[in-house]
Every structure is written in C-alpha cells, then in structure tokens.
Chains A and B, each alone.
Chain A
Amino acid sequence: MIWTTEQEYIDFAFPDDNTKTINDVIQLMVDNGIGSSDVCINILKTANPSVDWSI
C-alpha cells in the first residue's frame, strides 16, 4: 500500500510515538546521513508528489 498522507510516513518512522511530526522524520533522515533537510524533503516529495506535504 502506498502512503498517501504525511502521518503514514511519521507512523513508519516512529511507530510507538504519537508526538512526532514530519519534521522529526526529516531530522531522522538528516541524522542518518541521507543529506540536508532540503535533500531529504526532495526525496520524499519526488517519491510521492501527491501527498499534501506541509514541508
């Protein structure tokens, strides 16, 4: 199933923490060396442009 909302990204990254936001997902990606926040945002938006992104 393809994610269609930001919340699905958040739930995947932080399955046991309902306080997290999409910015925490981006920070997780940055901390894992994937790239700057801009790079990480671009990766997510490129993968799924139909999501109503807040970032």
Chain B
Amino acid sequence: MSFTQTRTTTSNHSEYVYYQGSTSLDHSANQTNGNAVGGANVALAIGYLYLSAASAYINYRSFLSFDLSNIPVCEIESATLILTRYNTSANDFDIYIVASEASDDVGTSDYQDGITGASGFPFTDDVTLYKDSAWTVGGTSQGDIRTTTLNSNALSDIKSAMGSGKFKLALLNTYDYNDTYTSLSAVSAFVIKGPMFYSTQDSTTTNHPQLRITTKHTSFKISADTSFKGGNHTIK
C-alpha cells in the first residue's frame, strides 16, 4: 500500500542580482558579473528597469535557495514553487525557472555563474529548465499567491538535495533567457517591468518563497507474529 505526504519548505535565502549598463538591455544581459545585489530589498525582480534619457539599462535575475537537509531522502511525486506577488501584473511578461548553483549568500558573480550550465550568453541551450516552458505567472495584485509545478529535472535535483543540501533555482525573464531584448520596445519608467515577488528579506515570513514537495511512500503490514530479537531497528 502506498501513501503520499506533503511538506512545505520556506526558502532559506532569495535575492536578485542586477547589471546596470549604459548601452542596451541586451548588453546588460550579456555580462558575466552583475554590479549589485538586492541586499535588504524585500522584493525579487526578474525583469528590467529602463530609463532612456538617463541611459540606464538594468537586467535583473533572481536566485532562490531551499534547505532540504532536514528532509529524509524519499521518492518524490511532485514539487510546486509558491511565490507571492510583490507588484501588480500591469507590466508582466513570462519568466523561466532554471537550475541554479548560486552561492548561499548570492553575490554579483552569481549573475551568470549562478545559473547552472551557463558559460556565456545566450545560455538558452545550456541551462537546465525546472519548468518545461515559460511560466505566465498570473495573478493581478500585490499579495497574490502564485504556484507552478516543477518538472522531472527539478524532482531529480530536489531528491539529490534531500537529507544533505540545498535546492536552488533561478528566475529569468523571457527576453533575457531567449536573448530577445533586441526585439523589445522597452518602456522607459521608474518601474521595474516584469513580475516581482517577495524575497526572504520581507518581515512577513509567510510571504517568502516556498517549495511544496509531495513525497510517496510504501507501507506494509507487519505480521502479528513478527518478533525483534536484538539489534537496531528503524521503522519510518
């Protein structure tokens, strides 16, 4: 007989890295290192900030980490990423969820190196997707909770992290991931375009990114005449 169990883990750290340049958004995406991190910012940004007359072109990437070391290794049936919107959907576009190997604290060097498999830009063919296609986040207002199911790549890496380490992912916007900033008619404004979510720096823990893992287990009936004669026995 089998049964499932669901556990929800809150991100131990989530933060964005951005590169600010004066040339173009495509140029800003095509950099090895960022030049700043989110720090105490309670928001995670994935999109861009563009101020045309200031020659400011900023591309944002967000990195999330989940410590699974206290979860015993077991089979996984599904995993769901849960994020709480920080902004409205007025300026939304799709985002991608990819594997990450960012440092625990998230630094400017994680801008590219924190994306597993990325050794140059564009990295579309090099990264590991944790969702098979782009995610249209949905929701409309600040505080809206958005969920998406992760794919088998994610399940495999989650299982590897169980009992020993951290499961990390990065959020990239579609223009960054697909290297299509050059075809974008960017809108100049004092607003970060694209969906934003609460980071782990927000004072309200329930707003932090969460990972919901459904594990599957097999149970068996112990016969009435089973006896234990010494030794160590672990029953889970």
Contacts and interface: CB of A to CB of B under 8 A. Distances in A.
Interface in B15-68: 20, 22, 36, 38-43, 45, 49, 51, 53-56, 58
A52 to B, nearest CB: 15
Interface residues of B, number: 23
Number of chain A interface residues as a range: 20 to 34
Given A3-B54, A25-B190, A28-B190, A33 B22 contact: no
Contacts of B190: 12-13, 25, 28-29, 32, 34
Contacts, number: 57
Main secondary structure of the interface of A (DSSP, over half): helix
Counting chain B CB atoms within 10 Å of each CB, which of A2, A8, A43 scores highest?
A: A43
B41 A33 contact: yes
Contacts of A3: 53-54
Given A43-B20, A47-B22, A36 B55 contact: no
Given A46-B20, A47-B20, A36 B53 contact: no
B54 A47 contact: yes
B135 to A, nearest CB: 20
Contact of B39 (A25, A33, A36, A46): A36
